Amino acid sequence: MKFTAQQIANILEGDVVGDSNIEVSKLSKIEEGVEESLTFLANPKYTHHIYSTKASITIVNKTFIPENDISTTLIKVDDAYKAFSKLLEYYNQVKLNKSGIEQPSHISKSATYGENIYIGAFSYIGENVVIGANVKIFPNSYIGDNVTIGDNTLIFAGSKIYSECIIGNFCVINSGVIIGADGFGFSPGEDGKYNKVPQIGNVILEDFVDVGAATTIDRATLGSTIIRKGVKLDNQIQIAHNVEIGENTVIAAQTGIAGSTKIGENCQIGGQVGIVGHITIGNNVKIQAQSGIGRHVKDDEVLQGSPALAYSDYNKSYVHFKNLPKIVKSLNDLEKNNGNS
């Protein structure tokens, strides 16, 4: 795809300074700019790069006035960073604007779908599946029986959505995601063996949920595992059966949440956090990376450590922990002095 400077300026409502017909076909950092690439300058620390960049077009603030000769064509906008972000979003929409049904793929006769859908090659659509409008399902994806997928949802290559699950509108499910696999349910028998407990619930993703690559969300034993509206999940997260995550909560990579735990709204959970099952975490909670949560958590708490402490208590304790060898030496010296007195 190629765009001229004037076309880009029209999208961004900016002004061209230079060759309005020059074309670009890729994006670049300003310090790594090459011909036919587009870049931007927002941080003053990078200003010196604009005089040497080989990028064909550079987006700059309207206040920018070059002090030396430049070869790049400028597009002047009110806010270069926001304008470049807008352009990235537009570029992504164009790049993902696929439609039609590729072959080979399998779509069950009982499945229904809306307008302007895309189903990539080697995908499987099961019985009684309902797919909304403008949905894009990329190659090698599996959609199980009785699944419902809302409008404008993206399902990237290699994702698996098991039977009975419900996916909302404007969701993004990245490659390798597994939604609706059996929860980790086993009961010990008298002979020491573990017996499988059937997992007959489902998973519900509400609208505007993003799920990162290789994340797994297990189906409920009974009822539903629920990911509420606006939740953002990073890559490689494990969410167990019957978990519920509240609206607009964000969770970083490699976090594991055990079964039947309820997490509130607007929480921020760092990477590699471990959360035990059957607890409740309140709203607006912040949990630092690599913390271990083994108790109920009230609204607005900020936690760190394993087992987690209040963030300020953890920092105070950590100061003493770093000084532990000195403290032990001081105690030993005191004991020696008392013994000699």
Catalytic residues: 241
Amino acid at position 278, single letter: H
β-strand partners of 305: 308
Are the C-beta atoms of residues 181 and 216 closer than 8 Å to each other?
yes
Amino acid at 1: M
Helix then strand count (H, E) for the chain reads: 4, 40
225 token code pair: 């595992």
What whole-number distance in Å separates Cα of residue 179 and Cα of residue 90? 29
The β-bridge partners of 23 are 4
H, E, C per residue of 14-35? CEEECCCCCEECEECCHHHCCC
Q: Record the tokens describing residue 257, joined without a space.
A: 């949440």
- As a whole number of angstroms, the distance between CA 203 and CA 145 comes to 13
Query: What count of residues does the chain have?
Result: 341
Q: Burial code of 231-267, b = ≥16 C-beta within 10 A, e = fewer? A: bbbbbbbbbbbbbbbbbbbbbbbbbebbbbbbbbbbb
Task: Give the strands of the sheet with 178-181, arranged side by side.
Answer: 106-107, 124-125, 142-143, 160-161, 178-181, 216-218, 238-239, 256-257, 274-275, 292-293
Q: What DSSP string runs through 238-282?
A: EE-TT-EE-TT-EE-TT-EE-TT-EE-TT-EE-TT-EE-SS-EE-
